Amino acid sequence: MSGRKVVVALGGNAILSTDASAAAQQQALRDTAKYLVKFIQQGDKLIVSHGNGPQVGNLLLQQAAGSTQTNPAMPLDTAVSMTQGSIGYWMQNALDEVLAEENMDVDVATLVTQVEVDANDDAFTNPTKPIGPFYSKEESEQKKAENPDQVFVEDAGRGYRRVVPSPRPIGVKEYKVVDALVDAGVVPISVGGGGVPVVKEANRLVGREAVIDKDFASEKLAELVHADLLIILTAVDNIYVNFNKPDQKKLENVTVDELAQYIKEDQFAKGSMLPKVQAAMDFVKNSNGGKAVVTSLENVGQFLENGSGTIITR
């Protein structure tokens, strides 16, 4: 069980509590760090990634509120990099604290990460990635009237959110740096918020206004660094089929082919569980014997002890 290279993908919603203050988010990450350190304690080589959907949306609101002609709001790709820095700082600080409590001499470093996407990805004309706070239908219509270029959709029955392009990642510019950090015994925090979306133009990487799904970015990173395990953390301990129905079924050990059939049956909600399932499948298919796990942060201890969670294999 020891010595595995493990990529753990945290959701942005796991960082943001009902209180959006920096102090509340830092406390949430201190709680999260206690679970993550369990991997290091058993000898795993840990790589952490995280989402930023709530945080980048809130930052954009702050940017817009303070924008003037001489001090304009930053573009979305820059806002993504800003949240990589802020969340990464909070996370490495939290991990440092827990590691010190456990008398473990392990360094943690946040890496601003650029993730390459295809400039012709259809996502740029079909925004789907929810960011920022939830609005009522009336509030979303008002926001749309104030910002005609923005798109708002209902998000999993919880309200309306702004959606932005979410292209698929095709590469991670700094993956060799991540590998070097792991080889040096450092815990890297990488592809934060799905990474800064960039496209290649000659020898230059140019930012694009988008938010890459952190599960797909984490998968691409895990694939490139030849991870043994990709763990995607979500709100539930397992993936379910017939979710919230009388005949719902918990998936514990499942193959890529079985998941593909469930996708054909529309078992997984778009924008929530579906991308997690697809990312897990991609990793298993594209890695050399790697496994993927979908479970909750709170279930990490049980997973390490007895394999609890949904484990995806070929």
d(C-alpha 168, C-alpha 118), whole Å: 8
Pairing type for strands 5-10 and 229-234 reads: parallel
Lateral strand order in the sheet of 5-10: 108-110, 187-189, 45-50, 5-10, 229-234, 291-296, 310-313, 253-255
The tokens for 10 are: 């945290």
| H or E element, residue 249 | strand 249-251
Rounded Cα gap, residues 116 and 56, in angstroms:
19
Residue 151's φ and ψ, nearest 5 degrees, are -120, 135
Maximum Cα interatomic distance, the chain, rounded to a whole number of Å: 59
Residue 251, CA distances (Å) to 101, 247, 275 in order: 36, 13, 16
Q: Does residue 206 contact residue 126 with C-beta atoms inside 8 Å?
A: no
Query: Which residues are tagged catalytic?
Result: 12-13, 129, 214, 276
Report how far residue 288's alpha carbon sits from residue 260's, in angstroms, rounded to the nearest whole number.
Answer: 20
109-130 b/e (C-beta count within 10 Å ≥ 16 → b): ebbebbbbbeeebebbeebbbb
Question: Using an 8 Å Cβ cutoff, are 171 and 193 in contact?
Answer: no
Token readout for 79 is 């806002």
